[in-house]
Homo-oligomer: A and B are copies of this chain.
Amino acid sequence: MAETTRWFEDFHAGEAIPLGSHEMTREAIVAFARAWDPQPMHLDDVGGATSLLGALSASGWHSGCVLMRLFVDNLLAGSASLGSPGIETLKWLKPVHAGDRLTAVMNVLETRASGSRPRMGLIRARFDVTNQAGALVLMMRSTLMMGRRAAA
């Protein structure tokens, strides 16, 4: 096991934590859609062009999974994460097209001790995902459960 370098006490409201970037290739967009969301706008150019999205676009679940992977690789992997009870809200604000480069940031909104579990703290955060033009394509708010250093 790698050493835990980030505990509940290391998160502070107002902090913005960069989570890195990921390019959305055409191949990955189509492969994800075939597996999990085989709707025409996610599968080929014709389906994309005739959809509200205007062109072949990634499934919103694909963008969400890319955010999750960036979050694990660039923060959770070295943390005392205990998981999450769910997603408070998730908005798909703009289409994600082939070749787009997505960049994710975690904004810490609030931290508080768990009332029921003394070894756990709760971190409410807003995740912003922007494309290479700086446009916000996905926004998610959720709460993380994180181990406390004092309990280690």
Q: Which residues of A contact B (CB under 8 A)?
A: 35-39, 41, 51-53, 59-61, 64-66, 68-69, 72-73, 76-77, 81-92, 145
Contacts and interface: CB of A to CB of B under 8 A. Distances in A.
- Prevailing SS type, chain A contact patch: mixed
Contact of A69 (B36, B52, B53): B36
Which residue among A52, A53, A145 has the maximum number of chain B CB atoms within 10 Å of its CB? A52
A128 to B, nearest CB: 14
Given A51-B83, A61-B65, A89-B89, 14 more contacts: A36-B65, A36-B69, A37-B72, A38-B69, A38-B72, A39-B72, A39-B83, A52-B83, A60-B86, A61-B64, A85-B92, A86-B90, A87-B87, A90-B90
Number of copies: 2
A41 B83 contact: yes
A68 B145 contact: no
A78 to B, nearest CB: 12
B76 A39 contact: yes
Contact of A89 (B66, B72, B76, B86): B86
Contacts of A60: 84, 86
Contacts of A38: 69, 72-73, 77
B92 A89 contact: no
B88 A89 contact: yes
